[in-house]
Structure 1
Amino acid sequence: MYYQYKHQFQQALVEWFKKEKRDLPWRKTTDPYKIWVSEVMLQQTRVDTVIPYYERFLSEFPTIRHLADAPEEKLLKQWEGLGYYSRARNLQAGVREVVENYNSKVPDNRPEISKLKGVGPYTAGAVLSIAYNKAEHAVDGNVMRVLSRVLLIEEDIALPKTKKTFENAVMELIDPIHPSEFNQGLMELGAMICTPTSPKCLLCPVREFCTAFNEGNPEKLPIKTKKIKMKHIPYDVYVVRNTKGQFLIEKRPEKGLLANMWQFPMIEQKNDTDTTNETTLAEQYSLNLLSREKLTSFKHIFSHLTWHIESYFVSCEEQQIIPNNCQWFTVEEMAALPMPVPMQKVWQRYQIELSNL
């Protein structure tokens, strides 16, 4: 497609989006806070997964001030299961900056909104175009896939510098009268029609402008180098219950993966030692173990690593001296703790198999 056809391209895309767009809860508002929440949740997460989280989150934190004032543990509990928890922390940090510096009003221009914690070029553009109807680029993976095919852009989208190429392309093409529908139309087209494999070209509203379609090779684009090799770590995870019926839970470090989340004691498996992990567990957590039962085995995949988990239930005598990052909790108290998905799986298996022990 050449840019002289951009008005026809704009019209075809916008009209298609208005007619065919999915009925999603964040499309029923132009509140910049709610749009911001939805865009953060949708990063790395499927739409169907996000919908119930989005609705529960806004029920708990209906305004920007509610989220700004919330304790982190309450925030993480609402985010529990969505993963990528740094998204939630950055969202709250950004919201607090809005309350402190902008009188609780999300900035309506790119220079200011881009200063907020966790707000990158895509999120800034999405909020500005959808909430404020500003003609700003919002380039995500869907948009790059669509435009790489329409414009035959053969640059590697895994390279950061390539993003600028697509941002410039959007600014050349964007409908200045309907920027919200235009940007959302590109995203929707990538999600529903111009998919990574088997694109539905015959249903595409802009196929007549698509260079890759006209050349018969849309699936060759976009060009993307392979991801880095996945790291694999084996862990033993222990549901530890004392004679009072309390469970030993530890808090993860303040920085890094799953920061400040709560978990059962977990010890990396080592093949080069004669010491069993039960011995390490007893020594590291000052426990007098009474029994052990196998629970379940599974793997949990993060973006950059995979945990291979073997989980066990162990009973122990009541102990008063435990590490500073650990506490004993009752079942009722545990319900309020934000725990990552792997720990929820272990707990669910414990409840099914061993709750009557």
Structure 2
Amino acid sequence: MPSTDSLTNKPYQMTTSEIQAFQTTFMAWYDVHRRELPWRLNQEPYRVWLSEIMLQQTQVQTVIPYYERFLATFPTVVDLAAAPEELLLKTWEGLGYYSRARNLQKAARQIVDDYQGQWPQTSVELEKLAGIGPYTAGAIASICFGEVVPAIDGNAFRVFSRLLKIDADIANPKNRQIFYDAILPLIPQDRPGDFNQAVMDFGSQVCTAKNPTVGETDLAPFFRSYQDGTLLDYPVKTKKQRPKPVALMAVIIQSPQGVLLQKRPSTGLLANLTTYPLVVPADILPEDEVLTPEEILTYIERYFQETYAITLQQLRPTNLKPVVHTFTHLKWTIELLQAELVADVDLAFFPGQWYSEDALQMVALPTVQKKLMARIKTN
């Protein structure tokens, strides 16, 4: 196993003739095997940018229908900048990580207001836009504007760590510069955008994490780790910490007007999205006390009364299996409770409203809320 100390072993450096041969072979592979994707129909930066943001944390085949629907709803960056947030989130619904959608709109407004509708054309300027990091900036700058700059994502880490035997830990953000410096000389001056897209395709189709088929391609002689049988030792990556477990309770409150949903706070997880009222027992129950189920319900009733001036009626467990939902750093386990309210209760202190079945169809609902709704329907 290679060392994780980035200073121990320097990446292999290709000679000029090796670089030229690699570029020729790599671009020839791409010209034959490139994926036909809707955002590759042209190099319009709005289309490329949208695809790159959607592809964060989401697979290509999943993204395509969302991408096409989003473009149909917001055909230009001006349309996106002017969109109502509710429509934006509804159009994004199902992709998760809603901060991506909000940052899309923030960046669109920056382009319209600060750049007079004209896209910045360098990776440095692109990184000044909301939600655009080094990878996305490199992708847009190279594909749309021909800047010779790497676009370093998981595919690039995997391909070039194996190609050049780079043993720097890719979980350490400081080591990105090592990859940047190693990749930059390999990018053909006349096809930087195609090169970065070739890395995406080669990494996802050939140089995969578990079952790479590099040896079946003409590129095998260039891969130093393939030549010495260490291909699967790269990339070097320390393990992530497991998501922290958090227990919650979702309170399904019903009346003749429908179901009561709350709008989440404007910051934090699921910001501004709509869910059942969610309670974190650890925040409202006394510490170091063993409580009966009835006592826990009493504390929840008191919480609703003191926080929202709402008196829950017939608060009770559903006895359904809890819903488990994992975010990047948190693992929610949600117990479902039920209660009733009179339809004309004063909701002045509650951040939400009643929703009928039809009204729910028009609201952007996060995946965890859809899981909760599916679970309650089994009751």
TM bin (shorter chain)? over 0.9
List aligned pairs for 1:257-268, cutoff 5 A.
257-268=269-280
CA shift, 1:319, in A, is 4.7
1:249·1:326 contact (CA, 8 Å) conserved in 2?
Answer: yes
**Judging changes above 3 Å, is the alpha-carbon distance between structure 1 residues 107 and 282 closer, same or farther for their aligned structure 2 residues?**
same
Structure 1: gaps (5+ residues): none
Task: Provide, for residues 121-160 of structure 1, a one-character-per-residue CA deviation record: whole Å limited to 9, x for no partner.
Answer: 1111101111223222110011011000101111111111
2:215·2:226 contact (CA, 8 Å) conserved in 1?
Answer: no
Q: Aligned residue for 2:303?
A: 284
Q: Which moved more, 1:261-270 or 1:251-260?
A: 261-270
State whether structure 2 residue 364 is matched by structure 1 residue 338.
yes
Q: Aligned residue for 1:212?
A: 225
Q: Aligned residue for 1:110?
A: 123
State whether structure 2 residue 351 is matched by structure 1 residue 317.
no
1:236·1:277 contact (CA, 8 Å) conserved in 2?
Answer: no
CA shift, 1:273, in A, is 5.2
2:312·2:339 contact (CA, 8 Å) conserved in 1?
Answer: no
| Partners of 2:43 and 2:188 in 1: CA distance | 18
CA shift, 1:295, in A, is 4.4
Equivalent position SS for 1:223: coil
Task: Provide, for residues 148-180 of structure 1, a one-character-per-residue CA deviation record: whole Å limited to 9, x for no partner.
Answer: 010111111111111111112221100111111
| Partners of 1:277 and 1:187 in 2: CA distance | 51
CA shift, 1:93, in A, is 0.6
Task: Provide, for residues 222-272 of structure 1, a one-character-per-residue CA deviation record: whole Å limited to 9, x for no partner.
Answer: 111111232001222122111x23211111111111111111011224584
| Partners of 1:177 and 1:276 in 2: CA distance | 71
Q: Aligned residue for 1:90?
A: 103
TM-score when normalising by structure 2: 0.87
TM-score when normalising by structure 1: 0.93
CA RMSD for the aligned pairs? 1.9
**Judging changes above 3 Å, is the alpha-carbon distance between structure 1 residues 133 and 289 closer, same or farther for their aligned structure 2 residues?**
same
| Partners of 1:280 and 1:66 in 2: CA distance | 47
Task: Provide, for residues 73-122 of structure 1, a one-character-per-residue CA deviation record: whole Å limited to 9, x for no partner.
Answer: 22111122212111111111111100012221211122321211111111
Equivalent position SS for 2:125: helix
List aligned pairs for 1:149-188, cutoff 5 A.
149-188=162-201
| Partners of 1:182 and 1:327 in 2: CA distance | 51
Identity, in percent, stands at: 38
CA shift, 1:276, in A, is 4.4
1:3·1:172 contact (CA, 8 Å) conserved in 2?
Answer: no
Aligned residues: 352
Amino acid at match of 2:213: K
Q: Aligned residue for 1:255?
A: 267
| Partners of 2:49 and 2:264 in 1: CA distance | 28
